[in-house]
């Protein structure tokens, strides 16, 4: 008999069973500026303890949060200088809203000080203007304090631009409590950035606005009655809010429907680009969808339109995936089995080759054709294939040995990449022990 795929596993408002998840509209978009994207009670208690300067209680809460969140995944030691609970280990998590398709959402808010030239050099002066030097909930991270590999990892993971990391005096302010960081004096006086797993645009925008309040009232920021909040970039003028999401779309690509989906996004004014560039689209089927302007819409309207556009793509990907599982089950099994064979036997693995094989394995796992594999790990691996992340992995694997002087030649990277992917998928196996054509 032909192998039958299990029903796809995902969490969303359209889930087949279980209580419905409230929409952003039901929760009250931006109501009270309450962080509504799922911060734990422990995190909020910790924020209160720090504000009250009850450091003994804060220390206990920090310990409890680290235990509750589990150890950071050693395969992905990005942002080693940050608190463990503020890592992006949730990237690609199946527990996140629409996490089977949307790997991560990034929310960015831009502001400039009123009656001040922007940007101006020297983050220290800007910290003083915002009153940040005495804040206990933020940590200053200077580029000069980070290793070359850590800076490279931050670039690869989309946290910082390369041009920002090249200046040793540049610094970011990292929240010790909630998953955001602030960039000072780079293009604008202030950029508040949240990165959250899954499709969390409206909820994370709530949290970003709440965090922005701690930097000062709206009256302290440059504002024009015609153009809104002012920025050094025209596209950021207006409400200063922008969204970006990473989507894994192997089924739409495999069925030849990706262009149709993208036309719908472009018609809504969104920008689309492949995460791994190629002549035919994106190697690994990972795409970046982003807003391209902040003016002409309210924050509510921008958030609602962005989520609605992405949710339409999510639904199309799931429908296409179900059709592939029903009509092309053996092909899915074959490609996933080849990927596992590659990961278990290769000594060297190129970035594009790894991305393509991971995509084949992940869609098969979403269809229930692969066992003993964490789909969230496969999503994270898609962002962890560059030389910076590989060097940090090697450092963690060698239990703290210095890796700055390890050659970063391509062949060395290919060897590390093969090891990383092999370790992450070593327990995975095809359903029914690899029998692709029969089912009892």
Domain identity same for 237 and 339:
no
Domain identity same for 35 and 148:
yes
Q: How confident is the model at residue 93 (pLDDT cuts 50, 70, 90)?
A: low
Domain identity same for 171 and 31:
yes
- Single out the residue of 100, 101, 76 nearest to residue 88, CA to CA: 76
Residue 273 lies in a domain: no
| Mean pLDDT, rounded, for 202-211 | 81
Tell me how many domains the chain contains.
Answer: 2
Domain identity same for 230 and 332:
no
Residue 202 lies in a domain: yes
Buried b (16+ CB within 10 A) or exposed e, 19-31: eeeeebeeeebbe
Contacts of 122 by beta carbon, 8 Å cutoff, 6+ apart: 169, 185
Domain identity same for 229 and 354:
no
Asked whether 244 and 199 are in contact (CB, 8 A), the reply is no
- The domain boundary, picked from 230, 245, 260, lies at 245
Cis amide bond preceding 234, omega within 30:
no
Domain identity same for 71 and 204:
yes
pLDDT digits (tens, 9 = 90+) for 221-247: 888 888 899 888 888 899 999 999 999
> How confident is the prediction for the chain on average, in pLDDT?
75
Residue 14 lies in a domain: no
**pLDDT higher for 239 or 69?**
239
Domain identity same for 334 and 188:
no
Q: Cα 349 to chain center, whole Å?
A: 24
Domain identity same for 169 and 30:
yes
Residue 62 has pLDDT above 70, yes or no: no
Q: Is 41 exposed, middle or buried (0-12, 13-18, 19+ CB in 10 A)?
A: exposed
Domain identity same for 156 and 35:
yes
pLDDT of residue 403: 44
- The domain boundary, picked from 213, 245, 277, lies at 245
pLDDT of residue 363: 94
CATH number at residue 188: 3.30.590.10
- The domain boundary, picked from 245, 275, 293, lies at 245
Domain identity same for 218 and 365:
no
Domain identity same for 110 and 237:
yes
Q: Report in angstroms the alpha-carbon separations of 263 from 62, 186, 242, 268.
A: 46, 33, 20, 9
**pLDDT higher for 364 or 375?**
364
**pLDDT higher for 67 or 342?**
342
Q: Which domain holds residue 343?
A: 326-434
pLDDT digits (tens, 9 = 90+) for 164-203: 998 888 888 888 777 789 998 888 889 999 888 888 777 7
Residue 250 lies in a domain: no
Residue 182 lies in a domain: yes
Domain identity same for 229 and 334:
no
């Amino acid at each position: 008999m032909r192998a039958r795929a299990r029903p796809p596993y995902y969490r969303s408002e359209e889930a087949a069973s279980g209580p419905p998840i409230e929409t952003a509209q039901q929760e009250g978009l931006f109501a009270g500026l309450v962080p509504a994207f799922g911060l734990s009670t422990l995190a909020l208690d910790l924020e209160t303890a720090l504000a009250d300067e009850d450091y003994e209680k804060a220390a206990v809460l920090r310990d409890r949060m680290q235990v509750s969140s589990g150890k950071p995944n050693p395969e992905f030691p990005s942002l080693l200088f940050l608190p463990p609970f503020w890592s992006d280990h949730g990237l690609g998590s199946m527990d996140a809203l629409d996490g089977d398709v949307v790997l991560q959402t990034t929310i960015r808010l831009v502001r400039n000080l009123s009656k001040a030239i922007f940007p101006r050099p020297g983050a220290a002066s800007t910290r003083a203007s915002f009153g940040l030097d005495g804040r206990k909930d933020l940590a200053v991270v200077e580029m000069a304090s980070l290793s070359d590999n850590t800076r490279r990892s931050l670039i690869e993971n989309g946290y910082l631009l390369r041009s920002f990391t090249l200046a040793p005096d540049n610094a970011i302010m990292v929240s010790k409590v909630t998953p955001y960081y602030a960039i000072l004096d780079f293009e604008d006086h202030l950029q508040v950035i949240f990165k959250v797993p899954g499709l969390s645009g409206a909820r994370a925008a709530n949290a970003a606005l709440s965090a922005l309040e701690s930097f000062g009232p709206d009256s302290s920021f440059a504002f024009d009655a015609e153009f809104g909040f002012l920025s050094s970039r025209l596209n950021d003028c207006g409400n200063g809010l922008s969204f970006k999401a990473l989507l894994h779309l192997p089924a739409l690509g495999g069925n030849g429907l990706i262009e149709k989906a993208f036309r719908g996004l472009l018609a809504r004014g969104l920008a689309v680009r492949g995460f791994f560039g190629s002549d035919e689209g994106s190697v690994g089927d990972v795409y970046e969808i982003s807003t391209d302007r902040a003016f002409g819409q309210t924050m509510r309207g921008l958030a609602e339109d962005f989520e609605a556009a992405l949710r339409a793509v999510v639904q199309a990907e799931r429908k296409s995936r179900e059709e592939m599982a029903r009509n092309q089950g053996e092909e899915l099994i074959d490609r996933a089995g080849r990927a596992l064979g590659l990961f278990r036997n290769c000594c060297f693995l190129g970035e594009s080759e790894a991305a393509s094989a991971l995509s084949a394995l992940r869609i098969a796992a979403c269809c229930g054709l692969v066992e003993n594999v964490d789909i969230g790990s496969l999503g994270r691996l898609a962002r962890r294939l560059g030389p910076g992340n590989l060097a940090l992995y090697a450092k963690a694997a060698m239990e703290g040995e210095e890796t700055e002087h390890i050659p970063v030649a391509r062949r060395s990277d290919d060897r590390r990449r093969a090891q990383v992917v092999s370790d992450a998928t070593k327990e995975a196996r095809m359903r029914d022990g690899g029998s692709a054509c029969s089912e009892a």
